[in-house]
Amino acid sequence: MYSKKGAVTATIALLLAAVVFAGCGNQAANAPQTPVQNGTNAAGSNNVSENGAVNDGGAKDDQAPEGNNAANGSNAETGNSANQAPDPADSDKGSGGDKAAMTDSESVAVLINKQFALPDDYEPKDLIYPDVRFTFKDKIEKRMMRKEAAAALEELFEGAEKDGVYLAGVSAYRSHRTQTALFNRYVEKDGEELAKTYSAVPGHSEHETGLAIDVSGSDGKCAAESCFGDTKEAAWLADHATEYGFIIRYPEGKEDITGYKYEPWHLRYVGKEIAADIGERDITLEEYYDAVPVSGQ
Ligand SMILES: [Zn+2]
């Protein structure tokens, strides 16, 4: 073993850096250093997965780095198991939304956060490849979304282009298997406590729903980085995403409620009606359901 002390120090430094990208930020590590067009991003797999973002000095991600290779495609298509019995919970409507939808994995309005998880065997049954630009060419897991969300995403990208805004997908679906493999790798490396500070516990990443996607401008700059917030793409999304049924899931100033730092790039599909309501009231999905703030405060 080489300098254990040095390795520990380096790891700590990287973890600190990683905190910044806490939310879904797979991509700081993944972010193309060169503009998107570099094509085959087989790199996508190298970036974060095996070596781990830690070693690469990339930001780790919480909801998740890619690690697409783990499950890459295959299991997503099989759509086997995934037999989600809708949570029979009371269909009690709070002052917020429909509480049955909140806990129904099959609902596009399901609430997934640090408190609410998907069942371990959950696998969306209707994943497809949205016909939009991505920062990579491969047809791999992270390019997929559930059908309804994919169709809405296509409309959103079209709407943006009409306004002269060119978006690109960075990372969408992530299977439970991928998230688990990734998380386990981090636990082996850093122990569970530390791993939890930068990686989403399997079942708790919104990317596992097939309803979330990280986007950037078509040049891939600032993908999953806070500087994205200053781009015209981010401004357009903040103004128009809800028209297409998407919300900026982790807004600025709502960290105590969502449990995540501001992530202007992380879009979550919830359907037009709910998105409009959330947009008008300037609230989060947690508030929409009157759910307990993740911070518990
Ligand atoms: Zn994300």
Contact 87, 103 (CB under 8 A): yes
Contact 167, 216 (CB under 8 A): yes
Residue ranges of the chain with per-residue pLDDT less than 70: 1-96, 295-297
- Give 205 Cα–ligand 1 centroid separation in angstroms: 8
8-12: which pairs have CB atoms within 8 A and are 24 or more residues apart?
11/54, 11/189, 11/190
Q: Which residues are placed with Cβ below 5 angstroms of ligand 1, an ion?
A: 24, 214, 266
Give the model's pLDDT for residue 163.
Answer: 98
How many Cβ atoms from other residues are within 10 Å of residue 208's Cβ?
28
Q: What is the pLDDT of residue 260?
A: 86
Predicted TM-score of the model (pTM)? 0.70
Domains and CATH numbers, the chain: 4-288 (3.30.1380.10)
| Ligand 1 geometric centre to CA of 87 (Å) | 25
> Which alpha helices (DSSP H) does 62-216 contain, by range?
68-71, 74-78, 99-102, 147-162, 176-190, 192-198
pLDDT tens track for 169-188? 999 999 999 999 989 999 99
Q: Which residues are catalytic?
A: 263
User: What pLDDT, on the 0 to 100 scale, is given for residue 24?
Assistant: 56
CA–centroid distance, residue 212 to ligand 1 (Å): 7
